[in-house]
Amino acid sequence: MTLIKKLCMPICSAIGNFWLLLAGVLLVADLWVIFLWAPRDTALGDIQRILYLHVPAAWVSFFAFFIVFCMCTWYFIKRSDKADRIAHASAEVGILFTTIFLLSGIIWAKPVWGVWWTWDPRLTTTLIMWLIYSAYLMVRAYAGSDKRAERWSAVIGILGFFNIPIVYASTIWWRTIHPQQMVGPASDPSNALPDPMRITLYFSVLVFTVLFFVLLNIRYNILSAERKIAIIVDQSNHERV
Amino acid sequence: MKKILLSLLCLTTLCSLAANSVTSQSTNNLIFLFSAYLVLWLGFFVYVIFLKTKQKDLQSEIEQLQVTLDKS
């Protein structure tokens, strides 16, 4: 019975997740700030409000893949199962945010650039990033034995991260039609956002980061429970033999 | 994961079709804004549903394990 309780604990904590509800409330508050508090952009009009979901989704994607990189490195140093599970969960949630990042960009591009997609350096490198981490998840799903999947995906998790600085700096290094950074270390002061817009953007980044940690925690708990169940089933099979 | 990506792809296709048919200067690109936020919310909902389904599967697996342990 104690064993079953131990197994159920992470699942129960995930199901009754207070944090998920809090993230939902924060998302609604974020919508209020974006649509009712932030001023309308004089040049682009309302379409500029896509920025408040596009940029935070990009930030969370980079952060998620940075966690994947750190955890994969930790996995190679310590052979830690926990690191592997965090990397797996982070890559999956990161792919979700990258998909939102890409799709919101595509939807923004049509009215502003007149096309859904163009092979601009920023767009292309972002698509490559999405493909790399999709490959990571595919390797996890199809590599066969657990240990082999862990090793191969860790290699992709480490090597794939080297694309992230390229995605970030692509608007600086190459000629691009993508807008230049308006916040962050590489931003141009002459291109800075007005204060209310900048505050709205920072709030959105905060909300998306909270949501990322909530989803990461739930996914990690599920992966941990799955792993424990697999170990117990293996042990009981060995005992029978 | 496959389901999430497929749903998002279908949604974007629908939104782009809607945007293509409705877009005019008078609508002031609001359909695009709506589409982007719809993708965001739907993406989260589909992922949360995916997580809940995983949890349900695990619960039933645990119940089966419980029965097996009780028998042995």
| Residues A107-143 pLDDT 10s | 999 999 999 999 999 999 999 999 999 999 999 888 7
Average pLDDT, chain B: 75
Phi, psi of A176 (to 5 degrees): -145, 155
Helices (H), chain A: 2-15, 18-32, 51-78, 81-113, 121-142, 146-160, 163-173, 195-240
**CA–CA gap between residue A159 and residue A156 (Å, rounded):** 5
Average pLDDT, chain A: 87
Number of domains in chain A: 1
Condensed to tens digits (0 to 9), the pLDDT of residues A174-196 reads 888 888 877 777 677 777 788 88
pLDDT given for residue A49 in this prediction: 92
A24, pLDDT greater than 60 = yes
Return the SS3 of A45. Answer: strand
Which residues of chain B are within 8 Å of residue A46 when distances are taken between CB atoms? Answer: 28-30, 33
Beta-bridge mates of residue A41: A45
Condensed to tens digits (0 to 9), the pLDDT of residues A186-238 reads 677 777 788 889 999 999 999 999 999 999 999 999 998 888 888 888 777 77
Q: Compare B19 and A43 and report the one with higher pLDDT.
A: A43
| Within-domain flag for A128 | yes
Chain center to CA of B6: 9
From the list A4, A46, A211, the residue facing B28 with the nearest CB is A46
Question: Is-contact A149 A91, C-beta < 8 A?
Answer: no
**CA–CA gap between residue A200 and residue A51 (Å, rounded):** 10
From A137's Cα to the closest Cα of chain B, the distance in A is 9
From A150's Cα to the closest Cα of chain B, the distance in A is 18
Task: Name the band, by pLDDT with cuts 50, 70 and 90, for residue A144.
Answer: low
From the list A4, A57, A226, the residue facing B66 with the nearest CB is A4
Sign of CA dihedral A143, A65, A163, A103: positive
| Within-domain flag for A229 | no
pLDDT given for residue A1 in this prediction: 46
**CA–CA gap between residue A216 and residue A194 (Å, rounded):** 33
| Within-domain flag for A206 | yes
Is the Cβ pair A219, B51 closer than 8 Å?
yes
Cβ-in-10-Å burial (0-12, 13-18, 19+) of A81 comes to middle
**CA–CA gap between residue A157 and residue A176 (Å, rounded):** 28
pLDDT given for residue A70 in this prediction: 96
| Within-domain flag for A39 | no
* Whether the complex's predicted ipTM surpasses the cut of 0.85: no
| Within-domain flag for A6 | no
| Within-domain flag for A240 | no
A2, pLDDT greater than 60 = no
Return the SS3 of A122. Answer: helix
Q: Domain span at residue A154?
A: 54-224
From A108's Cα to the closest Cα of chain B, the distance in A is 7
pLDDT given for residue B14 in this prediction: 61
| Within-domain flag for A241 | no
Task: Name the band, by pLDDT with cuts 50, 70 and 90, for residue A71.
Answer: very high
How many Cβ contacts (< 8 angstroms) between chains A and B? 98
